[in-house]
Amino acid sequence: MDQTPRRMLGQPPSSPTTQPKKKSTSVMSFFSKVSWNLRLQKQEPLKNVFFILAETARDPSVKKRHMVMSGLGTMACETPDKVRKYKKIILDLLVNGLYDPVSSEVIHESMKTLTIILDKMRGKALGSFFIDITLQTRTLLDDENDSLRYSAFVLFGQLAALAGRKWRRFFTGQVKQTQDSLLTHLQDRNPQVAKACKTTFRACSPYLRHSKDYSFQNEEDQRNSKLCRQLSHYHPELLQFFYANKIL
């Protein structure tokens, strides 16, 4: 995965790179067709747009794959009802983008669009996509790229609210494995990432409760002691919140 240079402390996250000013004729043609279909759905069914997007999402060109993810975000904002109707197709495209083997730009755009999509879906079930999205998002919480880390924390926080009963046990395990990352990035070098981490920590706090069937209890006790020490020093308000809700 390609990485972008680190930013100075305090500089807000931004897209890893900006698109070149000059675009090829084929790329411009692709955008024009998608835009045309969005505006004139009566002349050509919206489903055809997804066929175009699905084909382009597998294109060798990073630029085109990136534009598919960006285009899906635009569609989510302009036609949320259509997004809910075709959510399986859209989620499949976005998950593929989330696991792009080459480009951090495509991965970042996929996360940003997923954040929009999950909001538009209003908490409706993600099905098995929940596992794929959670696993990949968790790996990006420690990425060197500020923008990727920021978007990963935002998305992970959303997933905490969508786990439901079906995925609660799975997500609890993921949160426990992520606890060190959550602690570390409360003091992230980028203030916006630290703020996103703090919000996500609150969203994940119910999953940090003691579990009777959780093995290696001694190790868990040690990690919670470490958590208490760090929170008491850096974020006493979070520690008070956890105690008040009997999380620690």
For residue 245, the model assigns a pLDDT of 55
Strands (E), 123-174: none
Q: Kindly give, in sequence order, each residue whose CB lies less than 8 Å from that of residue 17, ignoring residues fewer than 6 positions away.
A: 4, 105
The predicted pLDDT at position 8 comes to 39
User: What pLDDT, on the 0 to 100 scale, is given for residue 85?
Assistant: 79
Q: Write down the pLDDT at residue 84.
A: 75
pTM of the model: 0.69
Within the chain, where are the H helices?
25-39, 46-56, 62-78, 80-85, 87-98, 104-120, 129-139, 146-162, 168-184, 191-204, 217-234, 236-244
Per-residue pLDDT of the chain (248 residues; tens, 9 = 90+): 544 444 433 444 544 444 444 444 444 455 445 554 455 444 456 667 777 888 888 889 999 999 999 888 888 888 777 777 788 888 999 999 999 988 999 999 999 999 998 887 765 678 889 999 999 999 999 999 999 999 999 999 999 988 888 888 999 999 999 988 998 999 899 999 999 999 999 999 888 874 444 444 445 545 555 566 666 555 666 655 655 555 54
Whole-number pLDDT of residue 83: 74
